[in-house]
Structure 1
Amino acid sequence: MRPLLRLPLHSITSFYTIPRISLRSFSHSLMVKRKSEVLGDSFNIQPPSRIRKMEAQPITTTIELTSKEAQLKDLLLDVAKFINGSGSLEEPVVLRWAGGWVRDKLLGIPSHDIDTAINVMTGEAFALKLCELCQQPATIKKHVLAESDVGNLHKIARNPEKSKHLETTTIKLFGYDVDFVNLRKETYTEDSRNPQMEFGTAEEDALRRDATVNALFYNLNTGKVEDFTTGLKDMKSRLIRTPLEPFQTFMDDPLRVLRLVRFASRLEFTIDPAAEEVMGDRRVLDALRLKISRERVGVEVEKMLKGNHPRKSLEYFEKLGLYHTVFTDPTHSNIPVPDISNWKIAYELFDSLRQNKTPGSIYDALVRSDEADYYAWILVAICPWESVEDPPHVSGKGKQPPPFVTLAAREGIKASNKISDLATAAHNNRAEIMSLMMAVSENAPFISERDRFGMAIRNWEAKAGHWRVQVMYALLIEAMEVLAPDSAKSVSKDDFLHKWQLFLDHLQELDVMEAPSLKRLIDGNQLAKALGVKPGKWMAEALNVCIKWQLRHPEATDPAGAVEDVRSQRAELGIPGK
């Protein structure tokens, strides 16, 4: 007989931890709890009423499941049958797959995240029953369950400040990440985006969602897609529409503004004009600024910029007037407002370079990974701040404050320290990047000095990494200045790009593109020994002299010449005598 599946319980968040105890004993204790506790009291939501509301009949259609999806469906229906057979509930369990999976399935987009909505019990209660059933030999045999088919059970507790309004229980099943949650309806108050939650019907659950295309259900019991709004029609029209009146929808939860932008850009759908009209309403923007945590704003922006059509997202930010609400420091009311009139030049140019990538092209030379592409889009998003003068530094009162371009990333979307440091470096290094690019363009006498260019690149990389993305930033800032129709420096796009291509080709010819990874021929201890002195503060600059020598002598394998260079500059470097 096949051994029973072992299903350890543990938390993946700091919000809530399920104790590591026997599933069988836990399930037994669960069965003797008060019925209302199983149904919702312990999760701060109201259990379903004895008298259910009459639910509207949805428009339906069908979809074809894969073999794995059908296997998952059969298992979940057996769990529902197992629960219904216990006689503990007044109504039978009805299961629905909800939202994104249904939408993507209809669009032919693969998805491994499945939200399962349950009509009369909480997600945790259902998932525990699933775990109980999956340990029974008959279930293991019927569904041909392997150890890898059923993963660990997790519970993520409510955290309204992070837009998590209801506990969610999730488990890995047949390779899918399956979330379990009850159908619910929401009631909002005027001053908070954290709703009062209670059990609801499928129609009420659909109406509370951000967009009609995300409000579709696949009813496992009937095998039909259910549309309680206009989701199927809007899918055909490629339209992003709110299920309820747009203004109240956004005032209830202003984060929906950003979610609609994300889905419209990702799916290449059009946003309903009625929704567009109020997305930039000052009252909605103020609610977005005041009621939504910047971490949550950052999550949405990250998903947009990592998606397939980040340019479209930025276009919506400009078109709908969202820029100054998102890319800003909301904690300061007197922060400057950058001019975004030429911003379109930057994001359209970067997207054009990206779409027309060829070997050796500007994008190919400067963006070498998915991470670099995402970082570049962040810099594209905040580049209008480059024209704003740096915050003043009050002498003697701490460090120089970061430039506004950094604050827009750090405070506006709560970007990571790595991204914030990159924004600062791109800002600080731009002048030198421009200087060297112009030197190449004008064929300055020193452009054959390999050490000059190699050391500059090493310095850009040392400050925050991704020196190539910093060069792209400098290129885009200049583009905003010289490609604008009313620019006094106006040049053609072809001439502009040719100048930057010439610069990158020159760096390639000098063979300095990989200068940051140049391996030293001599380390600090060896250098000190060769000079007959102890290491000191002089060491860092002396090692730079060695690297410069290596860049001038790329074929060298003996560091003797580098040591002589250091020795000849002993006084300037502050190296003590023997």
Structure 2
Amino acid sequence: MRSGFRVFKHKKTHLMRVSLKSAARLLVAHPVSNLSVKNFSLSQSHTLTPTLFLPLHSHRPAKTLVRIATPSFRSCGCAPMSTFQVRDRIDLSDIERSIFDRLLATLRHFHLETQLRVAGGWVRDKLLGKECYDIDIALDNMMGTEFVDKVREYLLTIGEDAQGVCVIESNPDQSKHLETARMRLFDMWIDFVNLRSEEYTENSRIPSKQRFGTAEEDAYRRDLTINSLFYNINTDSVEDFTKRGILDLKSGKIVTPLPPKATFLDDPLRVLRAIRFGARFEFTLDEDLKVAAACDDVKDALAAKISRERIGTEIDLMISGNQPVKAMTYICDLTLFWIVFSLPPEFEPAISDGCERLCISCLHTAWNLVDLLGESTFTAEQKRLALCAALFLPLRNTTYKEKKAKKIPVVNHIIRESLKRKAKDAETVLNLHQASHKFLSLFPCLASDEDVQVVDHDWMGDLVDIPVYSRVRVLTGFLLRELKDFWRVALLISTILHPIDIEDGPSQLDKRRDLFNTVENSITKLGLEKVWDVKQLINGKDVMNTLDLKGGPLVKEWLDKAMAWQLAHPSGTAEDCIEWLRETNSKRVKLQ
């Protein structure tokens, strides 16, 4: 639920606080005092703290304490309350018109009778008034590679050249049945495929026979009715062969052209695509579609037939999209969570029932905090990884063992193996989880109105040589030097873990935002906002010359001590630091 609303769930009841600016009508069904508080806390270092769960959805309707009549309620996964605006025709941009003119000129040049149809998402988005730069063209009587060769040949006759051409091979084992030819025109990549019709053996969804199909056959083989529309370039018209595409666009429904189970077994990734589009456009999932998506045959096919790279790409698109919480809630509701985010065979400690719901609650909190803090607070990449870190936050202490008996967080397995994302993504998320614990230990100092310098921490070495009044600055400085530009992301994750008293005063979410802002301001006042860019006053050679060392781990140890001194004495010079180094070493030698 976005700004203006606060939704909490306890057992099978919901409570919604509604901004008077956002709701014209408010119907109270039961007294608010009937809602009890669930004792729960994510923080390991604190006792159980009263915390309200965030909204979670199930297939069964919940008894509502408060109802509102507002279109924004769709963001909680409910049915849309009004139709969606769909255009009567497609308006082409200048570049699109130039591209299509070249393709039509190719047909005329070679006297071809080929029908050129733009398929799928481009048609859908243009009808919804959205820009789309992903153009897929379906051909009715030739292969994509054959037509691309014709286009290249025509362009040469008029003194132009295709900027790039490639072929993407089919891979039936991974439910990618069509070879795709790709070329670049007017700085846009265009994909060309043939219309297809497929036949299957009884026990396999890999096509046993493929032939050129009609546009109607191809439309029914598409994943969703809203993606089955064609724009016929030859006739400049939209074609709706399923007779449902435009209707479902207007009513906001996610439906498959053919029976959903057969559609999903054809390509199980379509389950995730249905979820992604349902969340992206805030459309409702068809009831038969939901039943099919949750059936064992489809779940087994999704786990066995689809490459983890393709699954990871879909999840990335959901997390980076406009409704990641809704997308993950759909995945959870359809009992697909542990299929998508598969775990290693053995891990410890055991994951409790309902952990996936807790993951979504953390994601929801992070999503709302990002919204409250403002889009400019985080880059797109920081926001994506913040949401990933929040989603897997309840799993941060669960580990598994490698062959070498080394314990590794299961989050690493999920990101690198289940989703096949970059090693850097996994490393960043794990670092954020670790850093959030460190930030928590600093909150009593950084979030206090008083000058508190006693820090209860277990993540940095001896600070006996650092003045007490400077220890908060030193600890915070080292933490930010580790995190660099991602320190605000770690701070965001820490606020999710921090126990919040919500009995009186502002809402839980507002308090977490205020905590973030307070700590951020404290860090700015300490002059640490870009501390990782601060050059160290002395280097390893200075340490070796001053302490008569020949290298080794002691040099790194003394460099860290020198950095701590530098953070404690921001006005100090290199000469001051070397003198401190000499005096400190002399004291330690005398004590030995």
- TM interval, shorter chain, is 0.7 to 0.9
CA distance in 2, matches of 1:372, 1:171: 33
Conservation of the 8 A alpha-carbon contact between 2:453 and 2:470? no
* Residue aligning to 1:427: 433
Deviation of 1:545 after TM superposition, in Å, equals: 1.6
Deviation of 1:428 after TM superposition, in Å, equals: 3.2
Matches within 5 A, 1:102-141: 102-136=123-157, 139-140=158-159
The structure 2 residue matched to 1:200, chosen from 193, 201, 213, is 213
Deviation of 1:370 after TM superposition, in Å, equals: 1.1
CA distance in 2, matches of 1:254, 1:168: 20
1:523 is the counterpart of 2:533 = no
The structure 2 residue matched to 1:445, chosen from 453, 464, 472, is 453
C-alpha RMSD of matched pairs (Å): 3.3
Give the match's secondary structure for 1:324: helix
Matches within 5 A, 1:20-169: 62-84=89-111, 92-136=113-157, 139-140=158-159, 150-160=162-172, 163-169=175-181
* Residue aligning to 2:583: 568
Please list every run of 5 or more consecutive structure 2 residues that lacks an aligned counterpart in the other structure.
1-86, 456-467
Matches within 5 A, 1:179-194: 179-188=191-200, 194=206
Q: What is the TM-score of this pair, normalised by structure 2?
A: 0.74
Deviation of 1:193 after TM superposition, in Å, equals: 5.3
Residues 126-160 of structure 1: per-residue CA shift (max 9 Å, x gap): 00011111111xx34xxxx5x6xx31211122234
CA distance in 2, matches of 1:492, 1:357: 14
Deviation of 1:207 after TM superposition, in Å, equals: 1.0
Residues 300-346 of structure 1: per-residue CA shift (max 9 Å, x gap): 00111122222222232233322222122266699954513433432
Matches within 5 A, 1:531-550: 531-550=547-566
Deviation of 1:70 after TM superposition, in Å, equals: 2.2
Deviation of 1:263 after TM superposition, in Å, equals: 1.2
Give, as a single letter, the amino acid of the residue that structure 1 aligns with 2:522. Answer: H
Query: Structure 1 vs Structure 2: percent identity of aligned residues?
Result: 33
Deviation of 1:456 after TM superposition, in Å, equals: 4.7
* Residue aligning to 2:38: none
Q: What is the TM-score of this pair, normalised by structure 1?
A: 0.76
1:376 is the counterpart of 2:382 = no
Deviation of 1:350 after TM superposition, in Å, equals: 1.6
Distance 1:409 1:572, change over 3 A: farther
CA distance in 2, matches of 1:573, 1:327: 52
Give, as a single letter, the amino acid of the residue that structure 1 aligns with 2:211. Answer: E
Worse-superposed segment, 403-412 or 257-266: 403-412
Residues 90-142 of structure 1: per-residue CA shift (max 9 Å, x gap): xx311111111111111111122211111111000000011111111xx34xx
Conservation of the 8 A alpha-carbon contact between 2:369 and 2:513? no
Conservation of the 8 A alpha-carbon contact between 1:391 and 1:404? yes
The structure 2 residue matched to 1:174, chosen from 186, 193, 213, is 186
CA distance in 2, matches of 1:110, 1:223: 18
Residues 176-207 of structure 1: per-residue CA shift (max 9 Å, x gap): 21111111123455766544443211111111
* Residue aligning to 1:413: 419
CA distance in 2, matches of 1:295, 1:464: 29
* Residue aligning to 1:342: 358
Conservation of the 8 A alpha-carbon contact between 1:162 and 1:295? no
CA distance in 2, matches of 1:74, 1:500: 54
Give the match's secondary structure for 1:519: coil
CA distance in 2, matches of 1:537, 1:334: 34
CA distance in 2, matches of 1:503, 1:310: 27
* Residue aligning to 1:283: 297
CA distance in 1, matches of 2:483, 2:522: 23
1:252 is the counterpart of 2:266 = yes
Distance 1:570 1:295, change over 3 A: same
CA distance in 2, matches of 1:459, 1:440: 13
Distance 1:464 1:259, change over 3 A: farther
The structure 2 residue matched to 1:306, chosen from 320, 324, 343, is 320
Give the match's secondary structure for 1:115: strand
Give the match's secondary structure for 1:466: helix
Deviation of 1:248 after TM superposition, in Å, equals: 1.8
Please list every run of 5 or more consecutive structure 1 residues that lacks an aligned counterpart in the other structure.
1-59, 86-91, 486-490
Give the match's secondary structure for 1:258: helix
Residues 443-471 of structure 1: per-residue CA shift (max 9 Å, x gap): 54336844544445534653797333233
CA distance in 2, matches of 1:291, 1:478: 41
Distance 1:476 1:317, change over 3 A: farther
Conservation of the 8 A alpha-carbon contact between 2:88 and 2:127? no
The structure 2 residue matched to 1:506, chosen from 522, 525, 548, is 522
Give the match's secondary structure for 1:243: coil
Give, as a single letter, the amino acid of the residue that structure 2 aligns with 1:155. Answer: V
CA distance in 1, matches of 2:563, 2:225: 60
Distance 1:451 1:265, change over 3 A: same
Give, as a single letter, the amino acid of the residue that structure 2 aligns with 1:468. Answer: R
Conservation of the 8 A alpha-carbon contact between 1:161 and 1:293? no
